[in-house]
A and B are shown apart, each in its own frame.
Chain A
Amino acid sequence: MTTTYREAMRAALRDALVRDDRVFLMGEDVGRYGGCFAVSLGLLDEFGPERVRDTPLSESGFVGAGIGAALGGMRPIVEVMTVNFSMLALDQIVNNAATLLHMSGGQFNVPVVIRMTTGAGRQLAAQHSHSLEAWYAHVPGIRVVAPATLDDARGMLWTAVCDPDPVIVFEHGSLYNTSGELADDAGPTDLDRAAIRRPGTDLTLIAYGGTLGKALDAAEALTADGIDAEVVDLRTLRPLDTATFVESVTRTHRAVVVDEGWRTGSLSAEISAQITENAFYDLDAPVARVCSVEVPMPYARHLEEAALPQVPDIVAAAKELGG
């Protein structure tokens, strides 16, 4: 069936709510308003206010409540409107959710799922548009995933709910309206492996979340130059599936990492380092990175576009590597 990323995510939420009574959704405007990005539209009517709960505007408060509910045996799915706002809940996520299993000597696990929108491209300016996935991917004790396809939008949530430890799901804002085919029986997907979305021989483009589509478009454009690019979708940002992208680079000998985060201290930096550590003698060119310009995300459309990694940037970086 033809569906959108938003509908696939909603189907995943509905599926989780149906499957397990302990699952409930909470966050700002997720109920009556149907979610800031309309992901949970209709779920309040379907499941009632006990299981689809609007919260006050206090990220620290409701994320902490979610962690407490998880400790109490529930399986909460907490929606934070954007990753920028999740800064207010960093203490709960980094100091509590990520550490309690460790600090309780393995007695208390925290099975909470925290969903948040990330990324730019919709003229929402600097307080709603940043890509801070790398901040969370830095922290041991939490799993970080970035569904970039309809299958993963539909499939990652239930696996995340089943995970006994905290999982953060990053949904790139530009993906909600993307549409495509999704199998009627599409179900849970793993949270462990990166995926090769397009096989190729000359070059590996490594992307995740909002940049996957751009990487695939760039790979298509590169065929005009006779360059056959492989595209790796990281899917899980922590723990990284190093084996998959290293294996790919070992075959293609070149890598371009596409990351909407700022270059300095980014996930792309970590991936580049891991390639250098694990595949140095197979590299035929330095690892290249295409990242966002290091500025607060501009509001004006042309400036926002200029600040973000774009297909021509990826194509140029790939061609620069020669071969």
Chain B
Amino acid sequence: MPSLGADMEAGTVLEWRVQPGDTVHRGDIVAVVDTEKSTIEVEVFEDGVVEELLAAPGDELPVGAPLARIAAAPAAPAPDRRPARAPAGTPRRKHAEAKPARTGTPRRTRPAARRSPAEAARSRAAPRAPRPPGAAPVRASPLARRRAAERHVDLADIAGSGPGGAVVAADLDRAPSDGERAPGTPSEAAEPGTPAAADEEREDRQAAMRHAIGALMARSAREIPHYHLATTIDLSAALTWLTAANERRSVAERLLPGALLLKATARAAIEVPAVNGFWVDDAFQAAPAVHLGVAVALRGGGLIAPALHDADRLTLDELMSALRDLVGRARAGRLRSSEMSDPTLTVTNLGEQGVEEVHGVIYAPQVALVGFGRVTDQPWASQGMLGVRPTVRATLAADHRVSDGLVGARFLNALDHLLQSPEDL
């Protein structure tokens, strides 16, 4: 069971995408795992042949527990040779090797006491019904699909009463969304497998996610000596360039200011590596690449910060398209395991919410968090003249065990500097 985030302690296997005997390659999606935050597609980090699946759909396993055994490629032709050859290791182990920064993260199993027996029983008795691989997609009417998306309801959880068993809008009405549930409904009243039970599971997940975010943030606030810096950055050059650049692009390909901010952040992190990496075993380990964790608010509530891989090396168009894809999949609950575990520096942009500046809490074991507020027109003195410029408040929350304010200031200065030459981004 891979660690799909520092706050993850256990995961539930939803489905296998491979069977014993299948040949797999690094990067293939082998399983789907349900965590407190999201449904994650687990990638394999080995080339090889699946020998044995050690967990069945519905099993909840602590982080680090083996999920399957993979023999090194090429496949052993005769089964009797198998004991003689050392197993190539579980995805988790390889994962740990590839990401030394994470080896020291404590991996405790989830204390049973934290869940009520009823909760535990329910989750065992009624695992979210996984769709077997290759199964037909859920049959649902266009209207039902639209309503389900609006209400954040998973159609797979709904029993269909329409033509051919299709889910129709009325079936959704019988399964009210989280927000519409009357408070205080006794949860034990729901029978497993009914829409109400599915609904309850979603509510469970909401609660679990809040709990997980809370636990990690409490740890961050308790253990990380934060320091906060802020600066106002003149975006007139960046936005002027962006407007001109977008004139050549179709609506679907247009760059958003957020893409420039992300790219500049990634490049600034290359210039000031002390903000990019992990605090592990009382020491800082700089990350070899910049994988920006992009904070995405989920529609049903909660937060997830999957990785935008190698953000410093993507072109702006690539970054924009990767961002759209990532946000879409994050909201659809279809992230990949590497995206969950890889972020080296988190960026949170609350500008769309009208916030002027963000004083963030670092996502441990990362060592810094960059925040952006909204772009506002401000009076701006430049070369002895007063003008009105579009500006953004950029903030840095950084770990004092790793860096000092001077380093943080260099990072924000680098960010500012980069945004003054958008054509070079």
Residues on A close to B: CB < 8 A?
A: 253, 280-286, 320-323
- Given A284-B169, A285-B168, verify A322-B143 contact (CB < 8 Å): no
What residues of chain A lie closer than 8 Å to B146, measured between beta carbons?
A: 281-282
Tell yes or no: B162 within 8 A of A by CB: yes
A-B contact count (CB 8 A): 39
Interface residues in B, total, Cβ within 8 A: 12
> Is A320 a contact partner of B163 (Cβ separation < 8 A)?
yes
Tell yes or no: B170 within 8 A of A by CB: yes
Complex Cα–Cα for A321 and B161 (A): 10
> Is B166 a contact partner of A285 (Cβ separation < 8 A)?
yes
Complex Cα–Cα for A286 and B141 (A): 8
Q: What are 19 A-B contacts defined by CB distance under 8 Å?
A: A253-B141, A253-B169, A281-B142, A281-B143, A282-B142, A283-B142, A283-B143, A284-B141, A284-B144, A284-B162, A284-B168, A284-B170, A285-B141, A285-B163, A285-B166, A322-B161, A322-B162, A322-B163, A323-B169
Interface residues of B in 138-169 (CB under 8 A from A): 141-144, 146, 161-163, 166, 168-169
Interface residues of B in 225-255 (CB under 8 A from A): none
What residues of chain A lie closer than 8 Å to B170, measured between beta carbons?
A: 284, 322-323
Q: A92 to chain B: closest CB distance in Å? A: 44
What residues of chain A lie closer than 8 Å to B162, measured between beta carbons?
A: 284-285, 321-323
What residues of chain B lie closer than 8 Å to A284, measured between beta carbons?
A: 141-144, 162, 168-170
Complex Cα–Cα for A283 and B144 (A): 8
- Given A253-B169, A323-B168, A323-B170, verify A286-B163 contact (CB < 8 Å): yes
Interface residues of B in 159-217 (CB under 8 A from A): 161-163, 166, 168-170
Complex Cα–Cα for A109 and B143 (A): 45
What residues of chain B lie closer than 8 Å to A280, measured between beta carbons?
A: 142
What residues of chain B lie closer than 8 Å to A285, measured between beta carbons?
A: 141, 162-163, 166, 168
Most B CB contacts (10 A, CB to CB) among A253, A320, A322 go to: A322
Taking chain B's interface residues, is the majority helix, strand, or loop, or is none over half, making it mixed? Answer: helix
What residues of chain A lie closer than 8 Å to B169, measured between beta carbons?
A: 253, 284, 323
What residues of chain B lie closer than 8 Å to A321, measured between beta carbons?
A: 162-163
A-B CB proximity, top 7 nearest: A284-B143, A322-B162, A284-B141, A284-B168, A284-B169, A283-B142, A281-B142
What residues of chain B lie closer than 8 Å to A282, measured between beta carbons?
A: 142-143, 146
What residues of chain B lie closer than 8 Å to A283, measured between beta carbons?
A: 141-143
What residues of chain A lie closer than 8 Å to B168, measured between beta carbons?
A: 284-285, 322-323
Q: A206 to chain B: closest CB distance in Å? A: 18
Name the residue on B nearest A202 (C-beta).
Answer: B170
Q: A278 to chain B: closest CB distance in Å? A: 12
Complex Cα–Cα for A280 and B169 (A): 14
Most B CB contacts (10 A, CB to CB) among A253, A280, A320, A321 go to: A253
**Sample of 10 more A-B contacts, CB < 8 Å, known A283-B143, A322-B162:** A253-B141, A283-B141, A284-B143, A285-B141, A285-B168, A321-B162, A322-B161, A322-B170, A323-B162, A323-B170
What residues of chain A lie closer than 8 Å to B166, measured between beta carbons?
A: 285
Complex Cα–Cα for A115 and B146 (A): 46
Name the residue on A nearest B162 (C-beta).
Answer: A322
Q: B99 to chain A: closest CB distance in Å? A: 43
What residues of chain B lie closer than 8 Å to A253, measured between beta carbons?
A: 141, 143, 169
What residues of chain A lie closer than 8 Å to B142, measured between beta carbons?
A: 280-284
Complex Cα–Cα for A280 and B168 (A): 14
Name the residue on A nearest B166 (C-beta).
Answer: A285
Complex Cα–Cα for A322 and B146 (A): 18
Q: B32 to chain A: closest CB distance in Å? A: 28
Complex Cα–Cα for A286 and B139 (A): 12
What residues of chain A lie closer than 8 Å to B141, measured between beta carbons?
A: 253, 283-285
Interface residues of B in 119-147 (CB under 8 A from A): 141-144, 146
Complex Cα–Cα for A281 and B142 (A): 5
Complex Cα–Cα for A323 and B170 (A): 6
Most B CB contacts (10 A, CB to CB) among A281, A282, A284, A286 go to: A284
What residues of chain B lie closer than 8 Å to A323, measured between beta carbons?
A: 162, 168-170
